Amino acid sequence: MAVHYRHNREGAERTLAALPGSGHALVPGDLRDTAAVLAIVDHAVEALGGVSVLVNNAAEAPLARTMHRIDEVSFEDWGAAWERMIAVNLLGAAHLSWAVARHLIATASPGAIVNVGSRGAFRGEPDHPAYGATKAALHSLGQSMAIALAPHDISVTSVAPGFISSERQAHTLAGDAGEGVRGQSPFGRVGTPEEVAEAIVYLASPAAKWSSGAILDLNGASHMRM
């Protein structure tokens, strides 16, 4: 497995150390840089001897510091938030998908792409509209690629998690807003990274080939859509 990071090498090394087996690799790069995206895939292919699965998990997250309500922020901050989130959440994923798909096609290899979208693509994100919009676009991109890549035996799916208990959200969950966040789900809790990972492992497997084009909700019944 190749673990990508932009600047947090220490965190990436911890993730790498937690992986079972051997032969894993770290691949640095800024997804806002098109040339760096191509280098990330080339590095992964060289280190692993090929790539068969891509998980588009990198994102500019909806945090307090990235909030950009239209009725509160300046035009400069509004524009900066949109440009940053489009560059990483959408264009970064699109360019990585192109590079991995072309590698698979060139080698006549089956494969899978799994996009990590969001519940916010469907329910609206007033504090982080660019986040919701880019995640909705990522879902749409995945469905378009599912049709285009099926003739090459490459499946493309997406997951749409709700609130997840990640390290970057620990402060929110421990603070005054934590109870309200947990109360969004009738289970009375938030999801875990492991629950999301298990769904991704399935969608990336040959057993899920016929699920190509699907968007799997992972939000503990906190948001229902038709």
Condensed to tens digits (0 to 9), the pLDDT of residues 164-180 reads 998 878 888 888 889 99
Residues 6+ apart with CB under 8 A from 26: 2, 3, 4, 5, 9, 12, 13, 16
Bridge partners of 154, per DSSP, are: 111
Give yes or no: 202 in active site.
Answer: no
Tokens of 212: 């190509």
What is the mean pLDDT of the segment spanning 200-207? 98
Residue 122 near residue 223, CB atoms below 8 Å: yes
Question: Strands (DSSP E) along 83-223, which ranges?
Answer: 111-116, 154-161, 215-218
Q: Average per-residue pLDDT in the chain?
A: 96
113 — pLDDT class (breaks 50, 70, 90)? very high
Please report, for residues 166, 173, 179, 181, the alpha-carbon distance to residue 176 in angstroms, rounded to integers and kept in the order given: 17, 8, 7, 10
CA–CA distance, 93 with 47 (Å, rounded to integer) = 21
- Model confidence at 214: pLDDT above 90: yes
Residue 159 near residue 200, CB atoms below 8 Å: yes
* Residues above pLDDT 90, as percent of the chain: 92
Residues 6+ apart with CB under 8 A from 70: 78, 129
Q: Go through the domains of the chain in sequence order and give each one's CATH number.
A: 53-218 (3.40.50.720)
Q: Which of 89, 131, 203, 212 is the catalytic position?
A: 131
- Model confidence at 63: pLDDT above 90: no
Tokens of 89: 């959440």
What is the mean pLDDT of the segment spanning 48-65? 94
Q: What is the pTM of this model?
A: 0.94
Predicted local confidence at residue 40, as pLDDT = 97
Tokens of 136: 């909705």
Predicted local confidence at residue 92, as pLDDT = 98
